[in-house]
Amino acid sequence: MGRLFGTDGVRGVANADLTAELALGLSVAAAHVLAEAGTFEGHRPVAVVGRDPRASGEFLEAAVVAGLASAGVDVLRVGVLPTPAVAYLTGSLGADLGVMLSASHNPMPDNGIKFFARGGHKLADELEDRIERTYRAHSSGEPWERPTGAGVGRVTVYDEGFDNYVAHLVGVLPNRLDGLKIVIDGAHGAAARVSPEAFARAGAEVITLGTEPDGLNINDGCGSTHLALLRAAVVEHGADLGVAHDGDADRCLAVDREGHEVDGDQILAVLALGMREAGTLRKNTVVATVMSNLGFKLAMERAGIGLVQTAVGDRYVLEEMKAHGFALGGEQSGHVIVLDHATTGDGTLTGLMLAARVAATGRPLAELAGVMERLPQILINVPDVDRARVATSPELTAAVTEAERELGATGRVLLRPSGTEPLVRVMVEAADIEQARAVAGRLADAVKSALG
């Protein structure tokens, strides 16, 4: 049986992989594990529970709340809010646990459960493993210890979460957005109300897309995975910029006034320069993953800003930031972490800070993003190969060495085994797109030959 917890909680098709029984059982297990770890010592435990607007979130939320309350945890139901809002409220309200029900950018039939520890930080891998072991032990017949009488948890609707979170977002901005016209695509997701409200309170004129969730339309042809509508709307309305979120709003991509995409690497570059100017870019360093475009690395070198690169995944970016005290990190996908103001990636905060930089400088987004040039990047997935031998194949090592020699300092090669599928990802960057295609094709053939 495979591990339930992936890199971002437990995720699967709702009511098939992710059932009410599983949601309830994991919640009870989480309560017991955290109690045993001393998290609840000396006080009555409290959990914050939120969700995105997916239809399945309604029954899954009910299951999670029931599980926690049955284990003696008081529950604050904050309703439909972004993942970073649940993380923020877990910290600001002094709760012992946060639970978010969302499958982020995945299609509507999927859903997921993500746990936050006290303070709003991602639950440690070791605790996730213990929760899973405890759940499996009890689902196979071992009875739970259950409180009775006054010991059962109480459930309260916490309506103040929306205003508290929006006030926090607007309060941490370095300057207002007055004079900017901004299009927001909420992906019919968790940011549908939050993001337009935050931008409006910060002074922007707001035009909205994807802000009418009905439980079934999340990420459907809109949001950060489908930018065509946002591009068209920004140009049509003569807006200064557009921002797009994913379903749970922990990501943000942008569009400049000409309708061109500004990706996570470019957003990181703009924010890094602004934070250095403000004196808030600790250790003059930004954290990104190995998948960041080489153009980002070259831009940071030209600007004299240090770059630390991690394995792919926002959890690795966050671990590096926390371990070494860095203030800014993120991924090309638009998952940006500003650690002084958030414990996880926050798409609304990212969009606000990007817009604040436009307002403060008086320069258009395209000009600010022009600090880095995105080098052409070719990605080929090679299926049905032995991904475990990527690092040990002499034939493959020789092919990579030859490719790197050909590309020189203005190109890059990355071979990465998939974490979930029997395939290897071949990524090549070069100043010339045709050269990138040719090198990537030869490497893909080498992977098939060496690992097939």
Q: What's the pTM value of the predicted model, to 2 decimals? A: 0.92
Active site residue 104: yes
Mean pLDDT of 408-429: 84
Q: What is the pLDDT of residues 66-104, one digit of tens each?
A: 999 999 999 999 999 999 999 999 999 999 999 999 999
- As a whole number of angstroms, the distance between CA 143 and CA 129 comes to 20
Domains annotated for the chain, with CATH where assigned, are 10-159 (3.40.120.10), 164-369 (3.40.120.10), 377-451 (3.30.310.50)
Q: Which of 124-128, 181-185, 267-271, 355-359 has the lowest mean pLDDT?
A: 124-128
Q: Please give the structure tokens belonging to residue 282.
A: 């600790």
- As a whole number of angstroms, the distance between CA 438 and CA 435 comes to 5
The residues near 391 (Cβ < 8 Å, ≥ 6 apart) are none
Mean pLDDT of 8-31: 95
C-beta neighbour count of 253 within 10 angstroms: 27
Supply the angle between the helices 161-171 and 194-201 in degrees, to the nearest 10: 40
Buried b (16+ CB within 10 A) or exposed e, 334-345: bbbbbbebbbbb
N- to C-terminal Cα separation, the chain: 26
pLDDT at 419: 65
Mean pLDDT rounded to a whole number for the chain: 94
Give the active site residue among 56, 104, 195, 333. Answer: 104
Place of tokens 């809002």: 85
pLDDT at 69: 98
DSSP codes of every residue in 147-207: --GGGS--EEE-TTHHHHHHHHHHHT-SS--TT-EEEEE-TTTTTTTHHHHHHHHTT-EEE
Q: What is the pLDDT of residues 363-409, one digit of tens each?
A: 999 999 999 999 988 999 999 888 888 888 899 999 999 999 999 88
pLDDT at 266: 98
Looking only at the bridges linking them, the beta strands covering 285-289 and 306-310 are parallel
**pLDDT at residue 420 is higher than 90:** no
Q: Which of 101-110, 135-144, 161-170 has the lowest mean pLDDT?
A: 135-144
What is the DSSP code (8-state) at residue 14? B
List, edge to edge, every strand of the sheet that includes 97-101. Answer: 10-13, 110-117, 97-101, 46-51, 74-80, 155-157
**pLDDT at residue 421 is higher than 80:** no
- Return binding residues for Mg(2+): 104, 246, 248, 250
- As a whole number of angstroms, the distance between CA 162 and CA 121 comes to 19
Of the candidates 183, 182, 176, the residue with the CA atom closest to the CA atom of residue 202: 176
